[in-house]
Structure 1
Amino acid sequence: MKLKVINSIRTNNFNDERLMQRITELWQKASDRLADHQGITHAVYHKYESDYKGDYSLSITVEDDDGEPSLEIPNNVKYEIFIVDTKVEHGVINTWKEIWAREDAGTLERAYSFDFEKYYPNGEIEVYIALR
C-alpha cells in the first residue's frame, strides 16, 4: 500500500504527558489538508522503538498511487483487524486498550512493523495490527 504522509509526530503512550493533545493537534493540522479528501485516511503507527510501551511514530496518511509514496506498507503482511465501536466516545482508545490487553495475555503476537487505523468516508474505523 502506497501512502502519502500528511504529517507525523514521534511519541510514547506512557511517557508523553501531552500525548492526547499532540495527537489532537496532529489531526487538526491534517484536517486542513484533508478537507476535500473523499477517500480513506490512515493513521499509521511505525518506527517502533520496542513494543507498545516504547516510542513510535504516528503519521496521518492518504493512499497515493499517482506520485512518489512517502510511506509504503508491504502487501505480504498478515493483519488482525479490530472493528472500532464508533457509537461510543472513546471507541478508538477502547480498541487499543483491548489490543494491549490481548498482547499482555499472550493471545496477540504483534510484529511491530506497521499498524494502522483505517478511517472510511462513511465513518467506520478499523484497526489493523501486523502479526508475527
Structure 2
Amino acid sequence: MNLRILNSVRTNNFKDAAIMQKITEMWKEASSLLENQNVATYGVYYNYESNYKGDYTVSVAIEDTYNPSITILNTSEYEVFIVDTSEETGVLNAWQKIWEREEKGQLKRAYSYDFEKYYPNGQIEIHIAIN
C-alpha cells in the first residue's frame, strides 16, 4: 500500500502531556488538504521506540500510487479491530482493548506499521501488525 503523508508528529501515549493537542492539531492541518475528497484517510503509527509505552511517530496519510511517502508492504500480517463509531471515544476504546490484549499476551505486535483506516462512509478500522 502506497501512502502520501500529509502531516506527522512524534509523541508518547503516557509521557507526553500535550499528546491530544498534538494529534488534534495534526488532523486539523491535514483536514484542510482533504476537503471535498471522498477517499479513505489513514492514521499511520511507525518508528516505534519500543512498544506502545515508548515514543512513536503518527502521520495522517492518503493512498497515493504516484507520489508515495511511505510504502507498507504486505509482508506483515494484520489483525483488524472494528471501531464502534457510535461512541465518541470509539477509537480510544479500541486502542485500550488492543493494549489490554497485548498486556495479557493475547496479541503479539510486530511494531512495524500500524494504521487506522477512516472510510468515507464513517467506518473505522485499526490494523495492527502482528508477528
Q: Give yes or no for TM over 0.5.
A: yes
In structure 2, stretches of 5+ residues that fail to align are none
Provide the alpha-carbon RMSD of the alignment.
Answer: 0.6
Deviation of 1:13 after TM superposition, in Å, equals 0.3
Listed one character per residue, the Cα deviations across residues 36-66 of structure 1 (whole Å, up to 9, x for unaligned) are 221110000000000000000001000001x
Aligned partner of 2:12 in structure 1 is 12
Identity across the alignment (%): 55
Given the two structures, how large is their TM-score scaled by the length of structure 2? 0.98
Aligned partner of 1:97 in structure 2 is 96
Listed one character per residue, the Cα deviations across residues 14-53 of structure 1 (whole Å, up to 9, x for unaligned) are 0100111111111100000011221110000000000000
Amino acid at match of 2:48: Y
Given the two structures, how large is their TM-score scaled by the length of structure 1? 0.97
CA distance in 1, matches of 2:36, 2:4: 15
Aligned partner of 2:80 in structure 1 is 81
Deviation of 1:89 after TM superposition, in Å, equals 1.0
Q: Runs in 1 of length 4+ with deviation above 6 angstroms? A: none
Listed one character per residue, the Cα deviations across residues 83-119 of structure 1 (whole Å, up to 9, x for unaligned) are 0000011000000000000000000000000000000
CA distance in 2, matches of 1:111, 1:76: 11
1:118 equivalent to 2:109? Answer: no
CA distance in 2, matches of 1:100, 1:77: 19
Count of residue correspondences: 131
